[in-house]
Structure 1
Amino acid sequence: MRIKTVLAALALSASLAGCSTIGTTPMFSNSYGAVTDAGYSLPRIPIDKVQKKYHRQVVRYDTKEKPGTIVVDTGEKFLYLVMEDGKAMRYGIGVGREGFEWRGTARVAMKREWPTWTPPAQMIKRQPELAKYAGGMEPGLNNPLGARALYLFNKGGDTGYRLHGTPEWNSIGKAMSSGCIRLINQDIIDLYNRAESGAKVIVL
């Protein structure tokens, strides 16, 4: 009877944390509800419409990279934050469409909450209607960078690429961006809180 009580308590604790377990994989499918953050009201994500493999979850992950490293698998549309004991927090991502893919090693040079988005000159040339944002688009629910952004630099300086949120939850698992790596807003907030400035980022 005591064992049943303990198990019930553990199940309740996981539920309250927004975490459930499928097999041996802790999943966070219950963590996509509406969120009030810095005065902004992020809407609930209809997560049942997103493939379960792209839900935030802890997975086994064998790597020689140290905990805190971020590994982006653009082919599989996953971002891994390396953890202790051969595990990683895995997030579903959207990646660059054909012609905008990139790969390499960088680091998180800056982290910003509710960042301003400034389209690069090349993007404005392709999409002249974006010229009105040449001085920067104010933060907000419709801002393409979403609730958080991690700015990637390498030896040459700013790569121009970001790990960022997006209001377009249905783009997760697809190749639709102009090269940046996008996550559901609730996921980028989680990653932002876990990842450290200076963290190594490997894009495969």
Structure 2
Amino acid sequence: MIASWRPLGSNGRPLPDDGVERSYSAVFDGHNGSRAAEEAAGRLHTLIAAEPALRTATGCKGPSTMMAAEEEAMRIALVKSFRCLDDSLITQARQDGGRDGSTALVTIRLGDSIYTAHAGDSRAVLCRAGGVAHRLTEDHKPNLPAERSRIESVGGRVEWQRCWRVVVEPGDGRPGSGLAVSRSLGDYDFKEPRKLVDATPEVVRTRLMPGDAFVVLASDGLWWVPGS
């Protein structure tokens, strides 16, 4: 697992000095190797910070139409950044045979809001006033109805193999394998020739409230309980 925290800025293009707090935290949980997680930790923040939405969004309360437009612009920026990184990882895998992948969980503090974008089962939980735990993300597991439907619609299989997994048969002499998440970065065998696993993040905006204390970001190694 690789964790990352940075103020958001991009290769000589600093974000506006407008008094809006913009910061970034992330967790990347690699599997079958570390390259995807390391690439994500080193590059994803720069891809996000280069998006125009990061220079105009304030995260502060305003007219509903303005907030809806800001949320959509941020969603598009985060989805674009995840997909750009995933495309790069898949291109590398075509060239050198790499088969690793990584979950990705990003939180962006933007004024009075927190945006979460995640692919996989790393989870973010906000500690609200009085110590109340508020989940900001829902794990992307293959047995969730919407995820399973998407996988099976392109000819994929979801099976129980000590946990629910997306199952792939490479067809090149290698044994079949299973992946316990339905969204991730990398994972070439699950992206080509059929996209069984998706890199598109789920993006959610949460308004911060008085008494909100901190956010915990962690991989399934912290959250997972056998039998759950």
TM-score (norm 1): 0.32
Between structures 1 and 2, the one with greater strand share: 1
- Using the size of structure 2 for normalisation, the TM-score is 0.30
Query: Which structure features the higher share of helix residues?
Result: 2
